[in-house]
Amino acid sequence: MTTARSFPPSILGPLRAAASRYRGVLGRPGAPQFFLAAALARLGVAMTGLGLLFSIHHATGSFAAAGAATGSFALAEAVVGPQIARLTDRWGQTATVPVAVLVHISGVVVAITTAGHAPIGVTLAIVVVAGAAIPQPGALSAARWSRLLPEPEALRTAFSLEANVNDVVFLSGPILVTLMSSLLAPWAGSTTAGILVVAGCIALSLQHATTPIPRRRPERGTDTHRSTLLAPPFLAALGVNLGLGCFFGAVPLLVTAAATTEGRQPLIGLVLALSSAASIVAGALYGAMRSTPQPQIVQLIASVVLTLAVLVGAVWPTLLGLAIMLLVGGTAIAPLLASSSQIVQATVVPQELTQGFTWINSASAAGIAASAALTGWLVAQGGVEDAIPTLMALVLIAVVSAALPFRRRAATTV
């Protein structure tokens, strides 16, 4: 009986300690306000691409036009996003974010209302403007955490929280936009996404207490040609996120192809959700850890886990095998994202932080675009069995990149 009574506290103790750590970072002055505002905007961002696809397809009746529009949007976001972040670092979130939001939402509205009436080239050009100007609420929020929390342990918890939010919004966002566009109107998803982006980003930009201090002019005597964005640890983190993006880009196509072949299309959404569910759990555990593991070690271990997960899919290229791949691989996602943010914060100077966080997102987006295109072609040529080995080679980019800091360290000690 004594053992039975003492068992629940042994379980509840670590849970309470973990909850205490998350309450600790959210209890900092101004933290709940900017965290919730950024989360709201992130949900809108997660809904934007799919909402645009539904809207353009309804207006034009063409999947080709809709696909070209969403692809152009994503490419513009990946390429121009870091340049917008550079302006944000220089002039501050309060000055730049409202302008970017205005340009973005104007582009989305014009693209949707003119699609099917204007030439497709004009629609794509407007979509490119909208994608180039979309704010990066994750990077904006991470930059505020970096200013607010000087302790590495607290930062790890905050970045893990951000990774969990990322999983939640990109799990729920597509579901919400699909329901709205299907049940209400084809443009309802895009409208809701725009409202969330505007409301969240404006609320974020109005909070002056936690905003990073802008650096409008370089300090005298500093070398303006040297950038911490070229530091080896940061470049290694870029490679890790490039490999992670390759995983993200291939997975939906592989699961869809396997489910279609086996006649189990209704299970596609459930299988895809496994990686987000596993990532949420892993992220919560990583942020609740008592000690602060070295981020580079976390990246190497998590990259190896991701590769081993893809190996499961290569050996067992069925829907069940892919489900196991996503469940195992999902445990690496949040730790990779959180540790990447830790490396950016520790490596990049405050005047370039927003750029650093945005470049991490762009590296992942580049991996998604390249992997999706290549995987789609391989699936069409030979099915899932031919595509997964290539995915493993792409994911190995993350392992090699994560190992680079240790190789340099070993070389310097010889």
CB 169 within 8 A of CB 37: no
Residue that finishes a domain, picked among 157, 190, 213: 213
The CA-CA-CA angle for residues 315, 317, 322, to 5°, reads 105
Is 6 a member of any domain? no
* Same domain for 236 and 201: no
- Percentages helix, strand, coil for the chain (3-state, rounded to 5) are 85, 0, 15
- Could you tell me the two tokens for 312? 């499961």
Residue that finishes a domain, picked among 168, 184, 213: 213
pLDDT at 178: 80
Query: What's the average pLDDT block by block, 10 residues per block, for the chain (414 residues)?
Result: 44 63 88 94 90 86 79 86 91 93 95 89 93 92 91 88 87 83 86 94 92 70 63 93 91 85 82 88 85 88 96 92 94 93 90 90 87 84 88 94 80 53
Helix axes 232-262, 268-288, angle to 10 degrees: 150
* Same domain for 328 and 280: yes
Residue 85 is part of a domain; what is its CATH number?
Answer: 1.20.1250.20
CA-wise closest residue to 127 among 80, 78, 72, 84:
72
* Same domain for 277 and 300: yes
CB 62 within 8 A of CB 353: no
pLDDT at 125: 94
Is 131 a member of any domain? yes
Is 112 a member of any domain? yes
Model-level pTM? 0.83
* Same domain for 205 and 322: no
Q: What are phi and psi of 290, to 5 degrees?
A: -70, -45
Q: Which domain does 340 fall in, by range?
A: 228-414
* Same domain for 53 and 87: yes
Domain count, the chain: 2
Is 3 a member of any domain? no
In the numeric block, the tokens 């917008």 are attached to 84
Is 10 a member of any domain? no
pLDDT at 217: 56
* Same domain for 204 and 65: yes
* Same domain for 261 and 155: no
* Same domain for 88 and 36: yes
* Same domain for 101 and 240: no
pLDDT at 52: 86
Residue that finishes a domain, picked among 213, 246, 272: 213
* Same domain for 365 and 279: yes
* Same domain for 42 and 75: yes
* Same domain for 254 and 127: no
